[in-house]
Amino acid sequence: MRIATWNVNSITARLPRLLAWLEKTGTDVLCVQETKCTAEQFPAEALRELGYESAVNATGRWNGVALISRVGLDDVTPGLTGGPDYDGAQEPRAIAATCGPARVWSVYVPNGREVDHAHYAYKLAWFEALKAAVADDAAGPRPFAVLGDFNVAPTDDDVWDPSLFDGATHVTPAERAALASLRETGLHDVVPRPLKYDHPFTYWDYRELGFPKNKGMRIDLVYGNEAFSKAVSDAYVDREERKGKGASDHAPVVVDLDV
């Protein structure tokens, strides 16, 4: 079983590449972030023609998450129960479903913007709500994972130059503590380091030749419980999909399971 996560940075803009990638890789379940569309605009029919079902939590031009599966899509849970609001509304940043033998979440953690911004406090509160939402499944016996864009680099090795991030979001002690607290529910980072290269970054800014110069960050993560982690046979960042015209600024992260 192949499960992946990919911040596509607009599923409309990325659709031809997404469809080709699914066909090429044979991915069974894909967790998508930043759909940047309404649920009605989501390309469910194009995916259905490839044999995939879709579950979507999206409301417009910002945020949005989805699950795409060809091994079943049951017990769909859109959003975080009791999750925090921002500007008076709960943003579409999470969706969960049971896909074959595994229960998975696709999450797009708030960016945080700046440390003294209200969005940063919202980010930390959102992490707390996510922890509460996944705790039971994380401790359970069936394969379970939270996949997505966490907008946190777990360690200094996960950013291309830590000195440039001093005082910035994505690397602060409070954000990393929130990530560690999530792991305390029984989750493990299942993508090993190093992989085939020293720094398995997953995101590179479009500006200043971020990708060609490998000025990246590892912020797209796969956190699995014990049953999920023990079933992992391979894991990698598909850097090739970050190349070329029309690429997202994130690369897919792929995990193979023996289940």
The range of the structural domain enclosing residue 218 comes to 2-257
Number of domains the chain is built from? 1
**Which entry of 108, 122, 203, 223 is annotated as an active-site residue?**
108
Residue 108 bears catalytic tag: yes
Please tell me which residue in 149, 170, 203, 223 is annotated as part of the active site. 149
Residue pLDDT, tens place only, 18-51: 999 999 999 999 999 999 999 999 999 999 999 9
pLDDT over threshold 90, residue 86:
yes
Burial label, 13 (beta-carbon count in 10 A; 0-12, 13-18, 19+): middle
Active site residue 149: yes
Q: What is the pLDDT of residue 200?
A: 81
Q: Is 206 a catalytic residue?
A: no
pTM over 0.95: yes
pLDDT band at 5 (very low <50, low <70, confident <90, very high): very high
The enclosing domain of 69 has a CATH number of 3.60.10.10
The tens digit of pLDDT for each residue in 164-221 reads 998 999 999 999 999 999 999 999 999 976 555 556 899 999 998 999 999 999 999 9
Model confidence pLDDT, tens digit, residues 109-158: 999 999 999 999 999 999 999 999 999 999 999 999 999 999 999 999 99
